[in-house]
Amino acid sequence: MPRTATATIVAALCLSAASALPATAGADATGGTAAPGGGTASGSSGTASPSPGPGGTAVDNSGAGGRLNAAAGALLGRWQKVAGTLAGAGAGTAVLLQRTDGRSGWVTVARGQTGPGGTFSLRWRPDRAGRLTLRAIAGARSAAARTAAAPTAPTTVYPATIATQFGPGFYNQRTACGVLLTPTTVGVAHTTLPCGTLVEFYYRGRTVRAPVIDRGPYANGATWDLTTGAAAALHFDGLAYVGSLNVGRVHLTG
């Protein structure tokens, strides 16, 4: 379907929301780095069901080495807070927050000190997109002792790109990828990604996986145009930054 008209309609509907956009974002025209281990998905529908994904619920991985709480989803370049406890550590113990790295193993992303009872609170700024693992270790102990039972927590870091929403006025028409658009269709428009590319979106603690089913958007500096169904799953309404990761492919049917 003609996406220029859609973008114009969305721009008019969302003009009031534009002032709420953050001043900066790490935009990625491809929609983000592919998640590690993400392969080709198969399917027979032109829509995708909302996925719970990593969501935004705090992760609490407890163990003999303590506890680490971290948001399960984060935007690339945006400051994040983590907190936890190092077992057996007294107040004033050096603590390091580290993330996984495919090449060097672990990379230190924040430093601090524990409070009473080994508690700590740190801030880190995600510098790499994808599925990562965080861990907290005591910096003053031997390398073997401090990593033996270090508390860990998984997190997914998404590049931030602008998204808009489309749908009304185009229901019961075929998209550029041949999918019949309805109010419940879960999909997304992108200018260049192949039809059927499966993208995981993150917005304010919610995630949804949606395939590319149309072309656009062409206004507002947006990278994505979410269908009404995809926007509803994310509780997304208007014009805002979202996180995105390409996670595979699906076969589209009308």
Which domain CATH number covers 187?
2.40.40.10
Domain coverage including residue 172: 3-54+159-249
pLDDT of the residue at 128: 93
Both 14 and 72 in one domain: the answer is: no
Average pLDDT over residues 179-201: 97
- Which of 55-59, 120-124, 213-217, 249-253 bottoms out in mean pLDDT, i.e. has the lowest? 55-59
CB-count exposure of residue 22 (10 Å: 0-12, 13-18, 19+): exposed
Look-up of token digits 């780095």: 33
CATH number reported for the structural domain that contains residue 127 in this entry: 2.60.40.10
Stated pTM of the model: 0.76
Of 157, 178, 199, the one marking the end of a domain is 157
Q: Which two tokens stand for residue 149?
A: 């039972």
Q: How far is CA 203 from CA 124, 236, 246, in A?
A: 19, 7, 15
Whether 30 has a pLDDT exceeding 50, the answer reads no
In this predicted structure, the answer to whether residue 22 has a pLDDT above a threshold of 90 is no
Please report the pLDDT score of residue 139 as a whole number: 83
Q: Which residues lie closer than 8 Å to 236 by C-beta, 6 or more apart? A: 163, 165, 203, 226, 230, 242
Instruction: Assess whether 147 and 174 both reside in one domain.
Output: no
Percent of the chain residues past pLDDT 70, beyond the cut = 71
210/224 same-domain check:
yes
User: What is the C-alpha to C-alpha distance for residues 112 and 190, in angstroms, rounded to an integer?
Assistant: 42
Question: Is the confidence at residue 14, as pLDDT, over 50?
Answer: no
| pLDDT score of 222 more than 90 | yes
pLDDT at 1 > cutoff 90: no
